[in-house]
Amino acid sequence: MATALTIAGLDPSGGAGVIADVRAFNAFECSAAAAITSITFQNEREVLGANHLSSSTVRLQVLAVLAASAVAAVKTGMLPTASIVREVVQLIHEQSLPAPIVDPVMRSTSGYRLIEEDAIRELLESLLPVARLVTPNIPEAEHITGVSITDVATMAKAAHEIRKSGAQAVLIKGGHLDSVEESSEAIDLLDNEGRITVYRRTRIPNSQLHGSGCLLSAAIAACLAHGKSLEEAVDEAKQFVANAIFDASRIAERLPR
């Protein structure tokens, strides 16, 4: 089995972070490996705090994995400090790791800040240039680029701006898109070295899934580990997450109110 490595935070509720990534890797028949960057205190409703690990602790976890396994895909999630970002970039270079899928996690849905400001700068300047794919949601893409995203055209503009950092490809996740004309659709836009692909699916009403962004980026990494093209990987990963959202919404309907 191909080994996929996630470098991300630990969500003890299991909805997001490395536990969600491992679920996605296993669903796509990858052997899962993980290096934890931060132990968060959260559940599906809110983040209560976090204890960030040292960059040397992250390094030792990754080296332990590499001593026993050849890694076919790398996905990064919560990288809370600049020193951790630098360590990950150094590991990518010195260990010849695959170009990573970078999920630029900045805030939880409840608004808790998950990355320090200097770590954002380090991520933009050193990690994005070595990324195979960057997967921001709309608030993250707006923060990175300063572009106000309201429709497909501005999604494409923001993706192009992020790709100027050196990243090979950018996937703008449109779950936060509020424009009236597109509110009935879930729209994601992929800019793969200048080739634009727009993915449209019917939005599942009244649906939320804690950790859906983690699942998506991890599923893309797993598909790439199996040799699929990026466009195929994104399409399969989106269907995987849509199924998970649909299942979660069906369960929510059965719960007492």
Prediction pTM value: 0.92
**Which pLDDT tens digit goes with each residue over 104-127?**
999 887 788 999 999 999 999 999
* Percentage of the chain modeled with pLDDT above 90: 79
Q: How far apart are CA 108 and CA 110, in angstroms?
A: 5
Distance linking the first and last C-alpha atoms of the chain = 43
Q: How far apart are CA 204 and CA 215, in angstroms?
A: 17
Q: Where are the domains of the chain?
A: 3-254
Q: What is residue 256's predicted lDDT score, i.e. its pLDDT?
A: 52
Residue 79 pLDDT more than 60?
Answer: yes
Q: What is residue 255's predicted lDDT score, i.e. its pLDDT?
A: 47
Task: Give 180's pLDDT tier (boundaries 50, 70, 90).
Answer: very low
Range list of β-strands (E), the chain = 3-10, 31-42, 47-52, 71-76, 101-102, 133-134, 169-173, 185-192, 195-202
- Look at 213 and 177; give whichever has higher pLDDT: 213
* The domain defined by 3-254 carries CATH number 3.40.50.300: no
